[in-house]
Chain A
Amino acid sequence: MTSAKPHVDDEHQVSRLFGREGVRRFFPIFLLIALAVAFSLTSARFLQFNNLMIVAQQAVVLLVAALGMTFVVIAGSIDLSVGAIVAIAALLAAKTSGSIGVLAILPACAIGVACGLINGLIVAKGKVPSFIVTLGAMVVYRGVVLFFTRGAPVSIENESFLDAYSGRTAGIPNSVLIALVLIGVAAFMLNLTVFGREVRAIGGGERIAHLSGIRVDRAKILIFVLSGLLCGMAGLLQGARAMAATAQLGEGLELDAIAAVVVGGTPLTGGVGSIQGTILGALIITILSNGMNIIGLDPYFQNIVKGLVLVLSVFITIDREKIGIIK
């Protein structure tokens, strides 16, 4: 159903909006700096190198999962199975680390790819909305973890594994270095490859992309595989940091990942978005939690603040001119 389109002189709008436009675009950075300043003023501990590395380490799992989510969201889909894939990957890494040590990265990534492939195939070939597919997948993958662990944690004791994935190199946590590499790869794929353009085109208009000769099904499968792969990496890092895989590991991570993507300025309506935004979003969410702990804010009050920050930042950053439908 179409309706009469208003005549909008876009260029005029942009120039008039420039002030607001600036606030909109740079709000995530402002917010991040504001949080850092506020926390370092209230607690001297916040800006210490050690605490910053803790923040970085805490951010890593969320960030890596959110990188994959960025592709999914830009393509106009959603992946709710992120937390469960992280748990499955951590479990497989824990089980295999005893025998193959560092190489446990391979099964962790493989299971992530497999889970993502299943999601992608059902979404693309079965034409089932991604929300439903990954909602079901979330329950199934979590169920698989519960079935095999019977709810008991599986500890990781292999030294070389722990050294590689939760040790430090020159004072910097290895997990942070790995995340930096993954950020580079993700930014490269989104910004410089034809695949990245296809992701944006699909989010901008799936039918248009399809009719223009883009292999939408193939791209969508790849997107979910990529999300799964990154979840595999996130699971590996999370397992190494916790030195165990538990059945509850990664619970709620999908929502934090979506929050990180959205706070970073990528709208859920798809078509636009950036890796930089997601990095900022993940840092904001992590710093908020870390800072609230450091200044000793009532833990029972913290969720209220987190939720409010999420809505506030989208309220400010959302580009209402470009997003026709808000639902």
Chain B
Amino acid sequence: MRIVAEDLSRSFGNTRALSDVSIALEPGKIHALVGENGAGKSTLLKILAGAERPDSGRMVLDGQPYAPKSVTEATRRGVGLVFQEITINPSLTVAENIFAGRLASFRRYWLLTRGGLNRAAQALLDSFSAEISVSQPLSTLDLGQWKCIEVARALSASPQAVLFDESTAFLNHREVDIVLEAMQALKRQGLVVAFVSHHLAEVGAAADGLTILKDGRKVGDYAAHELSRDQIQSLMVGRDLSKGLFPPHGAQASSDNLMRFEDIADERLKPSSLTLGGGEIVGIAGLKGAGGQRILEIAAGVAPHHSGEMKLAGASFRPRIPAEAWAKGIAYLPGDRTGEGLIVGASVLDNLVMARPPRRGPLFDHARAKKLSAALIQRLSIKTKAPQTRAGALSGGNLQKVVLGKCLAVDPRVLLLNNPTRGVDVGARAEIYRSLREAADRGLGILLASEDLNELIGLSDRVLVMRAGRIVARIEDPASASEDAIIRHMT
């Protein structure tokens, strides 16, 4: 099978996600779509897989016109999709997950024939050497293996092309390897394989060819060996952008220790010590589960059971619930903005003042809340029709600005950020970075845990690198450190 797409364009509201992009996918090759957040790579892949429809442009599949209206239709035409999110239902078995939605075909006299179901599932898993047995309970498998079950689900429709939409985003590097091996196996069978990723290490390891996208436009098609990682990076980001994205570092940290961790440890964190000064942005690098998020959770009072001592401006500090941390001026921006950060059903104003509502005695001070939220909307350039607009109506980047606004509304001393720009477009990211640096310049201390190395290097004054619950390296001058050096410490 050969998939050719010509001049695809797609807009969401006023945002042009994709402008006149053409691409050709060949059988027996792994094709990577790379670019920054918001570059349009996921949109492109979703259009190819029928999950989105282009505003203009056309696609051809082996010479036949191809315009799938849904993922189901694309699947019928032989194009399968593996989603970014985990779509495994843990209360089903491995085989049931693979054939979810198609269990009826394993029916005999209304009863499910488990033998046939399990045999078919095992055959699919073995076809790309997934090394998973259908009899294994899902809870004993890791996320990479869950992804492989999703791959098997895509294969159950006997596709000729399998598209992976940032399928490795939530996996650690060992789990990523499992998925990359699965891709190689599909390639050897002569399938078209394409994937979206912004981890250049994955691209180097797996891809035969790559297409670089930037701001919805195609930068170019390349053979994988043609470009070094640095070259890909600069094509992805563009010189001008990499300069403008991060604000200049401010006056260096005032020497006073705002927050101090002394041998803090719990079941997921080895004894760790660190300091954070006012006016300083300290980055924490590390794979998912390496401990960066845990450090934030302990400081935020989310994970109260730990040993060691935490100090805030010299005084011992041990929050048992987040409310106690907020009361001390420690604001926490969690990693999942719609599940943990803000209430999508409530208004922008409600969310902005949620952490510390303006009050007169027991009464909510509506006038002051209005003034405060208007100021925050302006300060963070939140694009919303009115403060009373339902938060759910905002775009991802603006939602994140609302969560950040909620944190800044309490006038915090310490700001704890967990991947503050995940899934945020470039424009909003620049605005978020600018606001963070401004806040730091006013004396705020920021602890920034991020999976985006670019962001850590560009924004932090210092970077701590974590691996397996331990701080393994301290980089005092991240601006002159290379991404590779940090990755070496991480893995």
Within 8 Å by CB of A193, from B87, B327, B362, B393, lies B362
A9, A194, A204, A211: the one within 8 Å of B364 (CB): A194
Considering the complex, give the chain A residue whose CB is closest to the CB of B326: A213
Given A192-B364, A213-B355, decide whether A10 and B322 contact each other with a Cβ distance below 8 A: no
* A200, closest chain B residue (CB): B346
Of listed B323, B325, B332, B393, residue having the most chain A CB within 10 A: B323
What separation, in Å, do the CA atoms of A4 and B327 have in the docked complex? Answer: 36
Residue in A1, A209, A215 whose CB lies within 8 Å of B86: A1
A201 at the interface (CB under 8 A from B): yes
CB distance from A252 to the nearest CB of B (A): 31
* Chain B residue at smallest Cβ distance from A272: B345
Chain A residue with Cβ nearest B342? A208
Q: How far is the CA of A210 from the CA of B321 in the complex (A)?
A: 8
Give min CB distance, B15 to chain A, whole Å: 10
Knowing A10-B393, A213-B322, the reply to whether A208 touches B87 (Cβ < 8 A) is: no
Contact (Cβ within 8 A) B302 A211: yes
Most buried by B among A205, A207, A215: A205
Which B residues touch A211, using CB under 8 A?
A: 300, 302, 322, 332, 334, 340-341
CA distance A119 to B300 in the complex (A): 29
Which residues of A sit under 8 angstroms from B51, Cβ to Cβ? Answer: 4
**Is the CB–CB distance between B390 and A10 below 8 Å?**
yes
- In the complex, the answer to whether A204 meets B346 with C-beta atoms within 8 Å is yes
Interface of chain A residues 101 through 160 with chain B (CB within 8 A): none
| Interface pair B364/A196, CB less than 8 Å apart | yes
List chain A residues, Cβ under 8 A from B302.
211
**For residue A207, which residues in chain B have a CB less than 8 angstroms away from its CB?**
339-340
| A215:B343 contact, CB within 8 angstroms | no
A sample of 21 inter-chain contacts (CB < 8 A) reads A1-B85, A1-B89, A2-B85, A3-B83, A3-B87, A4-B83, A4-B84, A4-B85, A10-B392, A11-B385, A194-B357, A204-B343, A204-B345, A204-B346, A205-B339, A208-B343, A210-B321, A213-B322, A214-B323, A217-B321, A271-B343
The minimal Cβ–Cβ distance linking A142 to chain B, given in whole angstroms, is: 34
Q: Is A212 an interface residue (CB 8 A)?
A: yes
A27 at the interface (CB under 8 A from B): no
In whole Å, how far is A258's beta carbon from the nearest beta carbon of chain B?
21
Q: In the complex, which range does the number of interface residues on chain A fall in?
A: 20 to 34
Interface residues of B in 311-357 (CB under 8 A from A): 321-323, 325-327, 332, 334, 339-343, 345-346, 350, 354-357
Interface residue SS majority, chain B: loop
Distance (Å) between the CB of B43 and the closest chain A CB? 10
Asked if B63 is at the interface (CB within 8 A of a chain A CB), the reply is no
Which residues of chain B from 71 to 93 have any CB-CB distance to chain A below 8 Å in the complex?
A: 83-89
> Could you tell me if B354 and A209 are in contact, using CB atoms closer than 8 angstroms?
yes
Contacts A1-B89, A2-B339 aside, 13 further interface pairs with beta carbons under 8 A come to A2-B85, A3-B87, A10-B392, A201-B346, A205-B343, A208-B343, A211-B341, A212-B326, A213-B323, A214-B323, A214-B354, A214-B355, A271-B346
- Contact of B406 with A by CB under 8 A: yes
* B359 CB–A CB distance under 8 Å: yes
- The complex places the Cα of A213 from the Cα of B406 at a distance, in Å, of 11
Decide if B12 is an interface residue (CB 8 Å cutoff): yes
Partner of B323, one of A196, A204, A215, A272: A215
Name the distance in Å between A325's Cβ and chain B's nearest Cβ: 12
Interfacial chain A residues near B326, Cβ < 8 Å? 212-213
Q: How far is the CA of A298 from the CA of B39 in the complex (A)?
A: 68
> Within 8 Å CB of B88, what residues of A?
1
* B485, CB-defined interface residue at 8 Å: no
Contacts of A217 in B (CB 8 A): 321
Report chain A residues within 8 Å CB of B85: 1-4
B13 at the interface (CB under 8 A from A): yes
B162 to chain A, nearest CB (A): 17
Give the most central of B13, B51, B345, B350: most A CB within 10 Å.
B345
Minimal beta-carbon separation of A1 from chain B (angstroms): 6
Residue pair A322, B345 in contact (C-beta under 8 Å) = yes
Residue of A nearest to B319 (CB): A213
Q: Give the docked Cα–Cα distance between A213 and B403 (Å).
A: 13
Distance, CA A4 to CA B345, complexed state (A)? 18
State A272–B325 Cα separation when bound (angstroms): 28
* Chain A residues whose C-beta falls within 8 Å of the C-beta of B410 in the assembled complex: 213
- Min distance, Cβ A39 to any Cβ of chain B, angstroms: 37
- The answer to whether A212 and B322 touch across the interface, beta carbons within 8 angstroms, is yes
Asked whether, in the complex, the Cβ of B13 is within 8 Å of the Cβ of A208, the reply is no
B363 CB within 8 Å of chain A: yes
Q: Which residues of A contact B364 (CB under 8 A)?
A: 192-194, 196-197
Chain B residues whose CB sits within 8 angstroms of the CB of A193 once the complex forms: 362-364
Is A327 part of the binding interface, using a Cβ–Cβ cutoff of 8 Å? Answer: no
Is A7 part of the binding interface, using a Cβ–Cβ cutoff of 8 Å?
yes
Task: Give the residues in chain A near B350, CB-CB below 8 Å.
Answer: 197, 200-201
Give min CB distance, A7 to chain B, whole Å.
6
Shortest distance between the CB of A21 and any CB in chain B (Å): 13
Complexed CA–CA distance, A322 and B354 (Å): 20
A206-226 interface bits toward B, Cβ cutoff 8 Å, 1 = contact, 0 = none: 011111111101000000000
A212 neighbours in B (Cβ, 8 Å): 322, 326, 354-355, 406
CA distance A210 to B324 in the complex (A): 11
